[in-house]
């Protein structure tokens, strides 16, 4: 695969629209967790880190950040079908908001959700930046969705293409 430069990534969702939508999600999450002393925001690394950082700054409830690593892509552009999960979480009895970059096949999200439920949180809600329902292979749904997109390979705003382009302020697709 050849390396794509940022000018070879066509903008799909511009930075200003992402900022606007993250603010809307932050307000909705704040409303839904009204009265909570704290929520534990579990960010799925690496792709959701920029989204999670922006999102927690928009949530009007104290948040404790934690992280889980999950991968089904490796260095490829399509899911391998095998999910590797690594974490050191203590969420028993806590209100948990899982922040994921993208829900496509549903395999990664279903594996992470099953793993988190073993840890006995008081509640678990899921917030994803991108949802690709047309790519679903197993049932998986988020409580909060920033954007629904077609089945395209994308990069930017934390999502990578072979380890590159996470720093882009927008979400884009390789230009053809």
Half-sphere exposure of 130 (CA within 13 A, CB side): 26
CB 12 within 8 A of CB 165: no
pLDDT at 2: 40
**81/114: higher pLDDT:** 114
User: Tens digit of pLDDT for each residue in 26-57?
Assistant: 999 999 999 999 999 999 999 999 999 999 99
Q: The whole model's pTM is what?
A: 0.89
How much is the average pLDDT of 67-79?
A: 65
| Secondary structure (DSSP) of the chain | -PPPPGGGEEEEE-HHHHHHHHHHHHHHHHHHTTT-S-EEEEEEETTTHHHHHHHHTT-SS-EEEEEEEEES-TTSSS--S--EEEE----TT-EEEEEEEEESSSHHHHHHHHHHHTT--SEEEEEEEEE-GGG-SS----SEEEEE--S---BBTTB-BTTB-TT-SSEEEE--
- pLDDT-based confidence at residue 5 (cuts at 50, 70, 90): low
What is the architecture of the domain spanning 6-72+80-174? Answer: 3-Layer(aba) Sandwich (3.40)
Q: Is 104 a catalytic residue?
A: yes
Instruction: Give me the catalytic one of 101, 104, 131, 160.
Output: 104
| Secondary structure (DSSP) of 115-154 | HHHTT--SEEEEEEEEE-GGG-SS----SEEEEE--S---
Averaged confidence pLDDT in the chain = 90
Map tokens 């679903």 to a residue.
136
- Would you say residue 76 has pLDDT above 60? no
Describe the crossing of helices 15-32 and 49-56 by its angle, rounded to 10 degrees.
60
Residues 6 or more apart whose Cβ sits within 8 Å of residue 37: 62
pLDDT at 122: 97
CB 69 within 8 A of CB 176: no
pLDDT at 73: 52
pLDDT at 162: 85
């Amino acid at each position: 695969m050849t390396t794509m430069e940022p000018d070879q990534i066509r903008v799909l969702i511009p930075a200003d629209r992402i900022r606007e939508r993250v603010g809307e999600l932050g307000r909705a999450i704040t409303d839904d967790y009204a009265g909570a002393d704290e929520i534990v925001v579990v960010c799925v690394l690496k792709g959701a880190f920029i989204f999670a950082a922006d999102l927690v700054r928009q949530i009007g409830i104290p948040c404790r950040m934690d992280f889980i690593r999950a991968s089904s892509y490796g260095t490829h552009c399509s899911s391998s079908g095998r999910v590797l999960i690594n974490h050191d979480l203590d969420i028993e009895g806590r209100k948990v908001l899982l922040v994921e970059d993208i829900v496509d096949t549903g395999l990664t999200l279903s594996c992470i959700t099953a793993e988190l439920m073993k840890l006995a949180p008081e509640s678990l809600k899921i917030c994803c930046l991108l949802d690709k329902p047309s790519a679903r292979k197993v049932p998986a749904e988020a409580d909060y969705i920033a954007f629904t997109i077609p089945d395209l390979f994308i990069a930017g705003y934390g999502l990578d293409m072979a380890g590159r382009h996470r720093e882009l302020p927008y979400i884009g697709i390789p230009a053809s």
